[in-house]
């Protein structure tokens, strides 16, 4: 298996622009998680999906952030409009049905907002 795939790997944009991050989970996994990693706040869970349905978005920082999962093999995290404080590494992870299953992380997208 190719593992969790994220694109782009690096994104540089200007403040105010829309940013879309993409994730393809491991086939057969029915949970998908979006995390953000920063020096100040560490690794934070933003939102997670089960069978394409958002279950908990309490970690989404504000309305500028939105996430979708239109099908089992694709998810997006969108920031509109972007701000410099959104600069971080964003990880997608997927997991099987059981909560004791392993979460597999993608390589991350490094976002820089100028």
Partner 1 sequence: AQSVTQLGSHVSVSEGALVLLRCNYSSSVPPYLFWYVQYPNQGLQLLLKYTTGATLVKGINGFEAEFKKSETSFHLTKPSAHMSDAAEYFCAVSLGPSGGYNKLIFGAGTRLAVHP
Minimum distance, C-beta of residue 108 to partner 1, in the bound complex (Å): 5
Minimum distance, C-beta of residue 55 to partner 1, in the bound complex (Å): 7
- 106 near partner 1 (CB under 8 A): yes
Within a 10 A sphere around the Cβ of 59, how many other Cβ atoms? 15
Nearest CB to partner 1, comparing residues 74 and 104: 104
Minimum distance, C-beta of residue 27 to partner 1, in the bound complex (Å): 17
Q: Which residues, numbered 11-70, are part of the site for partner 1 (CB under 8 A)?
A: 31, 42-43, 45, 48, 50, 55-56
Would you call 82 helix, strand, or coil by DSSP?
A: coil
Best CA proximity match to 99, nearest among 3, 6, 29? 29
What are the residues binding partner 1 (CB under 8 A)? Answer: 4, 31, 42-43, 45, 48, 50, 55-56, 91, 93, 95, 99-100, 102-108
């Amino acid at each position: 298996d190719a593992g969790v795939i994220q694109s782009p790997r690096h994104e540089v944009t200007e403040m105010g622009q829309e940013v879309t991050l993409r994730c393809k989970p491991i086939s057969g996994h029915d949970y998908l998680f979006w995390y953000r990693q920063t020096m100040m706040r560490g690794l934070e869970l933003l939102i997670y999906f089960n069978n394409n349905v958002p279950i908990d978005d309490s970690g989404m920082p504000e309305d500028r952030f939105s996430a979708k999962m239109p099908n089992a093999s694709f998810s997006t995290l969108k920031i509109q409009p972007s701000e410099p404080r959104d600069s971080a590494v964003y990880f997608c992870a997927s997991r099987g049905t059981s909560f004791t299953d392993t979460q597999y992380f993608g390589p991350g997208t490094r976002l820089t907002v100028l």
